[in-house]
């Protein structure tokens, strides 16, 4: 399916400012669709203004659709009698006389030109399914009255309203609960869902006829007011506002929009959503996240304690072989501790592995400095690595760098290059040195090196590949690891 950006980019000469305004409108126009029980189509003028292109479409959640198919990408060509053309040329909101039939369904059609200064930058076409039209009542009348005001604001480029942008997964929608507030600040209508939400917040009576700001602020628990702005200020609707309210028994999120008519202010439209369960789940997630980070912190501390014990033991042993084995074990434990230290600071499902790699490379360089002057250099980025891969990868990187220093450079000075690269869901890491070449009879499968055995096992567990081969021109070695991370 084509996107709005693709349609506008391919067929129109709208300015960047016009495109930005239309994009903001489409981000928030589901409100108009829900209030009017109508499908909306955004038509934009093409390079030839006798041709209009469907750039976006939305269906209502409050009523049945009148458009079975998606029309984005379709065009209206040279049709002066079409309602969209009429609205575009007249600069007036146009309404079809009588219901038209679409796929056998009677549909009411309206076209709203979007005026910016002396130009029409697009037309919103509204299609209302009359076969499934809701029975008239206070709720339907309140919705349609607000929709009429909102349509006028779209026409005059007064909607969307500047202020807080809606958050798709938490912002209230029309069906969650709707309140209409008159210019005097008195609630003229409250839907059953809105009344239920306020009752859960602690309301004892009714909403209609009450002062909106006074009744709402009276329900907020002391000490639980929003910190970014006073509640009363936000509730008065100077610009689009979203406010979280909390009492001892419930949480409520309000979305407050000022409505305008030809004469100025026409009151407020307030949508409310009971977020009690959502906030409870968020608190649970925060608690779990803090717990997991604390566990990583304690694991890191324990691993550092183990490394310190190994270091103490190594100092008390006179056997060179045993001393070397304990030193290697200490380095491996320390490399795992580095991963847990990163995870304890900002636990996530992925790890920015460059931070881990740089710490490991510094440790390798510090240890190597006791023999010769060795520089360990990272060229490229590891990017983000899944947390379950990070520990094994840190051990692999530690072993390969240690191997490059101890067996490739030995006691001489030189450089080790680490070259990571991500592509198509795979991470490739090369560890290269220009020191001693591999023995002529070397075979990875028959090697007795514990370090290489660890690398082979870990890479195999990750479903990857590990190769060790001579470097360029037969100088040094190149170790290559490829592991899937997508």
Q: Is the pLDDT of residue 223 over 90?
A: no
Is the domain of 359 the same as that of 320? no
**What pTM value is reported for the model?**
0.64
Closest listed residue to residue 170, CA positions, set 62, 59, 255, 280: 255
Average pLDDT value for residue range 252-267: 94
Domain contains 161: no
What integer pLDDT is reported at residue 132 of this predicted model?
63
Where helices occur in 98-174 by DSSP H, the ranges are 138-155
Q: What percent of the chain has pLDDT over 90?
A: 45
One domain, residues 125 and 32: yes
Strands of 414-423's sheet in order across = 374-378, 414-423, 426-433, 477-484, 465-470
Query: Do the domain assignments include residue 163?
Result: no
Tell me how crowded residue 325 is: count the other CB atoms within 10 A of its CB. Answer: 15
CATH number, domain containing residue 92: 3.30.450.280
Domain end marker among 326, 347, 368:
347
Residue where one domain finishes, among candidates 323, 347, 371:
347
In a domain, 169, yes or no: no
Domain-embedded: residue 284: yes
pLDDT value, residue 367: 61
Q: Which of 67-76, 82-91, 98-107, 195-204 has the lowest mean pLDDT?
A: 98-107
The phi, psi pair for 130, rounded to 5°, reads: -85, -20
* pLDDT per residue as tens digits for the range 226-244: 545 667 777 887 889 999 9
Mean pLDDT of 52-73: 93
- Give the range of the structural domain holding residue 378, as residue numbers without chain letter: 348-486
**Cβ count within 10 A of residue 360:** 26
| pLDDT recorded at residue 203 | 92
How far apart (Å, rounded) are the C-alpha atoms in residues 92 and 96?
13
Per the prediction, the chain carries an average pLDDT of 86
Shared-domain flag, residues 266 and 189:
yes
The count of structural domains within the chain is 4
Asked whether 481 and 469 are in contact (CB, 8 A), the reply is: no
């Amino acid at each position: 399916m084509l996107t709005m950006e693709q349609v506008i980019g391919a067929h129109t000469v709208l300015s960047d400012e016009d495109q930005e305004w239309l994009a903001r409108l489409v981000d928030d126009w589901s409100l108009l669709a829900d209030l009017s029980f109508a499908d909306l189509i955004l038509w934009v003028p093409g390079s030839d203004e006798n041709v209009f292109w469907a750039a976006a479409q939305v269906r209502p959640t409050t009523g049945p659709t009148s458009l079975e198919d998606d029309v984005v990408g379709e065009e209206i060509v040279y049709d002066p009698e079409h309602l969209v053309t009429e609205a575009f040329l007249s600069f007036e909101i146009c309404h079809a006389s009588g219901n038209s039939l679409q796929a056998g369904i009677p549909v009411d059609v309206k076209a709203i030109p979007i005026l910016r200064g002396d130009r029409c930058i697009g037309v919103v076409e509204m299609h209302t399914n009359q076969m499934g039209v809701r029975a008239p009542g206070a709720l339907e009348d309140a919705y349609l009255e607000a929709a009429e005001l909102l349509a006028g604001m779209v026409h005059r480029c007064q909607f969307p309203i500047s202020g807080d942008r809606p958050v798709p997964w938490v912002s209230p929608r029309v069906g969650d609960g709707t309140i209409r507030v008159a210019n005097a600040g008195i609630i003229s209508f409250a839907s059953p869902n809105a009344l239920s939400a306020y009752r859960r917040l602690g309301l004892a009576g009714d909403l209609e006829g009450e002062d909106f700001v006074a009744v709402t602020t009276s329900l907020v628990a002391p000490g639980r007011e929003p910190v970014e702005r006073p509640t009363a200020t936000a509730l008065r609707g100077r610009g689009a506002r979203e406010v979280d309210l909390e009492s001892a028994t419930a949480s409520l999120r309000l979305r407050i929009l000022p409505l305008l008519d030809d004469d100025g202010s026409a009151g407020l439209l307030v949508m409310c959503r009971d977020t009690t369960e959502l906030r409870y789940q968020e608190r649970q997630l925060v608690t779990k996240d803090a717990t997991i980070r604390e566990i990583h912190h304690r694991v890191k501390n324990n691993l550092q304690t183990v490394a310190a014990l190994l270091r103490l033991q190594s100092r008390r042993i006179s056997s060179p072989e045993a001393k070397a084995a304990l030193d290697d074990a200490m380095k491996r434990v320390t490399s795992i501790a580095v991963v847990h230290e990163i995870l304890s600071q900002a636990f996530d499902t992925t790890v920015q592995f460059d931070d881990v790699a740089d710490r490991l490379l510094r440790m390798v360089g510090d240890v190597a400095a006791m023999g010769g002057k060795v520089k360990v250099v990272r060229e490229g980025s590891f990017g983000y690595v899944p947390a379950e891969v990070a520990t094994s990868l840190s051990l692999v990187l530690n072993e390969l760098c240690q191997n490059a220093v101890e067996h490739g450079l030995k006691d001489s000075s030189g450089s080790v290059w680490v070259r990571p690269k991500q592509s198509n869901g795979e991470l490739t890491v090369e560890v290269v040195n220009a020191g001693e070449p591999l023995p002529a009879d070397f075979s990875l499968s028959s090697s007795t090196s514990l370090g290489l055995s660890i690398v082979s096992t870990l890479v195999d567990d990750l479903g990857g590949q590990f190769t060790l081969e001579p470097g360029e021109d037969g100088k040094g070695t190149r170790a290559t690891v490829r592991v899937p991370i997508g």
